[in-house]
A and B are shown apart, each in its own frame.
Chain A
Amino acid sequence: MTTPVLSVRNLRVEFPTRRGTLTAIDEVSFDIAPGEILGVVGESGAGKSITGSAVIGLIEPPGRIAGGEVYLRGERIDRLSGEAMRKIRGKRIGMVFQDPLTSLNPLYRIGEQLIETIKTHTTLSESGARKKALALLTEVGIPAPDTRIDNYPHQFSGGMRQRVVLALALAAEPELVIADEPTTALDVSVQAQIIALLKRLCRQHGAAVMLITHDMGVIAETADRVAVMYAGRIAEVGPVRDVIKAPLHPYTKGLMGSIPSLTGESDRLVQIPGTMPRLTAIPSGCAFHPRCPRCFVPCATFRPELQAEQTSQVACWLYHPYPVTAGIAS
Chain B
Amino acid sequence: MRAPSAPTPGLRERLHRAWDSDVAWSFRHSPVAIAAALVAAILLLGAVLAPWIAPQNAFDAASLNLMEGFTRPGELSAAGHVFLLGTDDQGRDVFSAILYGSRVSLLVGLASVAFSIAIGVTLGLAAGYLGGRTGAVIMRIADIQLSFPAILIALLVFGVARGLIAPQYHERAAIVVLIIAIGLSNWAAYARTVRGSTLIEKNKDYVMSARVMGRSAFSIMGQHVLPNVMGPVLVIATINLALAIIAESTLSFLGVGVPPTQPSLGTLIRVGQQFLFSGEWWILLYPALDLVLLALSINLLGDWLRDALNPKLR
Taking beta carbons and an 8 Å cutoff, which residues of A are in contact with B?
17-18
Contact = CB atoms under 8 A, between A and B. Distances in A.
B27 to A, nearest CB: 12
A17 B314 CA distance: 7
A163 B48 CA distance: 67
Interface string B241-285: 000000000000000000000000000000000000000000000
Nearest to B313: A18
A20 to B, nearest CB: 12
B19 interface: no
B25 interface: yes
Nearest to B26: A18
**5 smallest A-B Cβ distances: which pairs?**
A17-B314, A18-B314, A18-B25, A18-B26, A18-B22
A18 B311 CA distance: 13
Contacts, number: 5
Which among B22, B25, B314 has the highest number of chain A CB atoms within 10 Å? B314
Interface of B: 22, 25-26, 314
A201 B25 CA distance: 52
5 contacts: A17-B314, A18-B22, A18-B25, A18-B26, A18-B314
Nearest to A15: B314
A18 B25 CA distance: 9
Contacts of B22: 18
Contacts of A17: 314
B149 to A, nearest CB: 31
A17 B26 CA distance: 12
A18 B26 CA distance: 9
Nearest to A62: B314
Contacts of B314: 17-18
Contacts of A18: 22, 25-26, 314
A18 B21 CA distance: 12
B147 to A, nearest CB: 26
B296 to A, nearest CB: 26
A37 B214 CA distance: 61
Contacts of B25: 18
A324 B314 CA distance: 40
B241 to A, nearest CB: 27
Nearest to A19: B25
Nearest to A17: B314
Nearest to A16: B314
A18 B20 CA distance: 13
A18 B22 CA distance: 9
Contacts of B26: 18
Nearest to A22: B314
B79 to A, nearest CB: 58
A244 B61 CA distance: 93
Nearest to B29: A18
Nearest to B25: A18
A18 B314 CA distance: 7
A313 to B, nearest CB: 34
A18 B310 CA distance: 14
B69 to A, nearest CB: 56
B25 to A, nearest CB: 7
A18 B30 CA distance: 12
A18 B24 CA distance: 12
A10 B26 CA distance: 34
Nearest to B22: A18
A17 B311 CA distance: 13
A121 to B, nearest CB: 34
A12 B86 CA distance: 65
A188 to B, nearest CB: 28
A90 to B, nearest CB: 29
A17 B29 CA distance: 13
